[in-house]
Amino acid sequence: MSSVQYKALKGMQDILPPDIYIWQKVEAVAREVFSSYGFQEIRPPVVESTNVFTRSIGENTDIVEKEMYTFKDKGDRSISLRPEGTASVVRCYVEKNLHTMPSPQKFYYAGPMFRYERPQSGRFRQFYQIGVEAFGDPGPRIDAEVISMLRLCLERLGLREITFNVNSIGCPECRPAYRERLIEFFAGGLDRLCPDCNRRYHTNPLRILDCKVERCREMRKGAPRVTDHLCNGCRIHLDSLLSYLELMGISYTVNPDMVRGLDYYTRTTFEVTSENLGAQNAVAAGGRYDGLVKEFGGPETPAIGFAIGMERIIELLKNSVAYDFPTPDVFIAVIGALAARESMVIADRLRGKGLWAELGCSENSLKSQMRKADRLSSKYVFILGDDELNSGRLKWKKLSDSSQGEISMFEITDFLLQRSS
């Protein structure tokens, strides 16, 4: 016998029943809500040429520098497992000329993403996102629509105690000057910043603003705020977005320190956080990326989107919402070989009507079959033996209250259909 123990890789998890039912619920609610806003599903591949990600997410981001699963394929091409969905969607948008569809073009996607991060609570190496991307509308109205869609989704799932953090990180017109202000501000204190922030100082000083290291937090007190350095266009965009959010009754916090870890953002960025999670408290995040389609060789196309982190949502839901997990509608306990044969026909008929039917095994005693029905939390048990076959009537028992009775074989389907759901 082999002594090797097989284990899932670090940071990767098996998603099993009953949790899987919460996953399915979240996916179903998201699909329903996104569809009502006119978003259509697309399924880009999980693997892309590495440059799809380096180009868009940014050479100097943590994701590209440290976290990508990058390999050579058998043709010696550098390929990477997607660390996020936006880059793939933009690649697809440009490659498949999706800009020719009526504008704005609205898409959603769901699936696994991969980042070689240090695993901890709420942070995995394979994790799932449901994301949306809307292309072609430069105005703040679509920003507000996308945020309201996220709110509806979270609301319908029953999530409360969440905060919408909103920010603008400017555009190529105003960000360079702001960047210079930050460089000036931090210049005298580089020895007090963490090694990562020393690097960020040269590559992307805005990222110093959301470093979690205590001494960097201290250092940035009094740093110039991006929202005080927006150009006129970005200022108006942000103000209009905020007024739309107020109009729709969405409470928000403007958080000028919220700097996203991906380089493609322009203007609006947002993050939904929960106080009921640990350090990894962002359940969804997104923003506008008006330059990315052009960067990929497509026409000038403004765009905005977000992605929901499934594991974090599930964690919150598990702790706050009670779910009824599905259980069999009926367990057919059988006595004898003939009943075992007939039970297959009955079960087939019930399954054809969408009912969940489980079959007992005639080699097992009635008592052990009843125990199994109980362990499965079957709603009803039917008992089928030679007597029942001869009389055409069988006994039913409802496990939740132990009520019982008898019905004709012909009534089985209607009996269960009336009582299911």
Among 25, 31, 99, 123, binds ligand HAM (CB under 6 A): 123
Does residue 127 bind ligand HAM (CB under 6 A)? yes
User: Quick one: 90 or 383, whose CB is closer to ligand HAM?
Assistant: 90
Residue matched to tokens 């026409």: 299
Closest approach of Cβ 297 to ligand HAM, in Å?
19
Does residue 309 bind ligand HAM (CB under 6 A)? yes
Closest approach of Cβ 228 to ligand HAM, in Å?
24
Among 44, 58, 85, 291, binds ligand HAM (CB under 6 A): 85
φ, ψ for residue 29, nearest 5 deg: -65, -45
Closest approach of Cβ 145 to ligand HAM, in Å?
14
Closest approach of Cβ 260 to ligand HAM, in Å?
6
Does residue 117 bind ligand HAM (CB under 6 A)? yes
Among 91, 237, 312, 397, binds ligand HAM (CB under 6 A): 312
Site for ligand HAM in 288-307 (CB under 6 A): 305-307
User: Quick one: 85 or 140, whose CB is closer to ligand HAM?
Assistant: 85
Does residue 115 bind ligand HAM (CB under 6 A)? yes
User: Quick one: 125 or 220, whose CB is closer to ligand HAM?
Assistant: 125
Closest approach of Cβ 375 to ligand HAM, in Å?
33
User: Quick one: 286 or 385, whose CB is closer to ligand HAM?
Assistant: 286
Binding site for ligand HAM (CB under 6 A): 84-86, 115, 117, 123-124, 127, 129, 131, 133, 261-262, 282-287, 305-307, 309, 311-312
